[in-house]
Amino acid sequence: MSLYQLEHLTRAYGRRIVLAIGQLEIEAGRMYALLGPNGAGKTTLLNLLAFLDEPSTGSLRFRGKAVGSDRAERLALRRQVVLVDQHPIMFSTSVAANIEFGLKIRKIDRTARQRAVQAALETVGLERYRAARAHELSGGETQRLALARALALAPTVLLCDEPTASVDTETEKEIQKALDNLVQGRTTIAIAHRLSTLRKADRLVVMDRGVVVEVGTHDELMARQ
Ligand code: ADP
């Protein structure tokens, strides 16, 4: 089943078209990796899929329904997706409070919130930092907190701009484990900077200068070389 359908979609800044997609379908439950050079339009596409931005022309459908400009409708759609940024911004409160925030906004009751926070902390291995201030975490721990925050929201779609900053091997493993948990059984679209992510993805979407150049599995794209 198609979760997203994009048709003749463009995004322009002034007169400059930075994204032009003839046709692209994102199937539910699969993992997609976006790749391409800087300026290819990967972030622009991710923001459109997160309903944070609107196309200049063309159509974007989600679960078969055209996504319009209605504010309330867009807000409701935004609750189904989570965008994990390269540089996550945390509140200066505790680690637990940062995870709980999104659940409060979604009006989840206290008991369910606490359960979700605990489970997310355990999944990313940050239980012992529960009461610590989020701003005191290391770079790698902050990335794991961002993943915990996303995990607790149990989104239908995970959109992710993979961090490029190098972390030590141990931290890398922890982050990878947290990410694997998050991706499990969820539609994921990630701007991929790591080879391991490209290998895991069900489909690679190769972009260049605002255009989707190729879509296929890792093996299919290799065979076309
Ligand atoms: P990528 O994520 O693949 O590096 P982006 O989607 O960030 O590419 O950018 C695509 C193009 O759109 C770039 O040329 C960039 O300069 C341009 N762009 C992105 N955001 C804006 C903006 N707010 N105003 C003008 N141009 C923008």
What's the rounded mean pLDDT across residues 103-116? 95
CA-CA-CA-CA torsion sign (64, 65, 68, 71) = negative
Sorting pLDDT into bands at 50, 70 and 90, what band is 165?
low
Using only C-alpha atoms, the chain has a radius of gyration, in whole angstroms, of 18
Neighbour-count burial for 127-155, b at 16+ CB within 10 Å, e otherwise: eebeeeebeebeebbbbbbbbbbbbbbeb
Asked whether residue 172 carries a pLDDT value surpassing 70, the answer given is: yes
In the reported structure, the alpha carbon of residue 41 is separated from the centroid of ligand 1 by a whole-number distance in angstroms of 6
Q: Confirm if 155 and 78 have CB atoms less than 8 A apart.
A: no
Q: Confirm if 3 and 50 have CB atoms less than 8 A apart.
A: no
Predicted TM-score of the model (pTM): 0.92
Q: Relative to the CA of 40, which ligand 1 atom is closest?
A: 3
Q: Relative to the CA of 207, which ligand 1 atom is closest?
A: 3
Sorting pLDDT into bands at 50, 70 and 90, what band is 166?
low
Ligand 1 contact via 34 beta carbon (within 6 Å): no
What's the rounded mean pLDDT across residues 1-18? 96
Number of H helices and E strands in the chain, helices first, is: 8, 10
Ligand 1 contact via 38 beta carbon (within 6 Å): yes
In the reported structure, the alpha carbon of residue 104 is separated from the centroid of ligand 1 by a whole-number distance in angstroms of 33
In the reported structure, the alpha carbon of residue 208 is separated from the centroid of ligand 1 by a whole-number distance in angstroms of 12
pLDDT value at position 181? 82
Helix axes 139-152, 110-124, angle to 10 degrees: 140
Q: Relative to the CA of 37, which ligand 1 atom is closest?
A: 3
In the reported structure, the alpha carbon of residue 202 is separated from the centroid of ligand 1 by a whole-number distance in angstroms of 26
Q: Tell me, what amino acid is at 106?
A: R
Ligand 1 contact via 18 beta carbon (within 6 Å): yes
In the reported structure, the alpha carbon of residue 21 is separated from the centroid of ligand 1 by a whole-number distance in angstroms of 15
The residue whose CA is least distant from atom 22 of ligand 1 is 13
For the chain, give the mean pLDDT: 92
More reliable by pLDDT, 163 or 78: 78
CA distance 179 to 185: 12
Residues sharing a CB contact under 8 Å with residue 187, sequence separation 6 or more, in sequence order: 3, 26, 27, 28, 29, 30, 31, 156, 157, 158
Q: Confirm if 213 and 206 have CB atoms less than 8 A apart.
A: yes
**pLDDT, tens only, 52-108:** 999 999 999 999 999 999 999 999 999 999 999 888 899 999 999 999 999 999 999
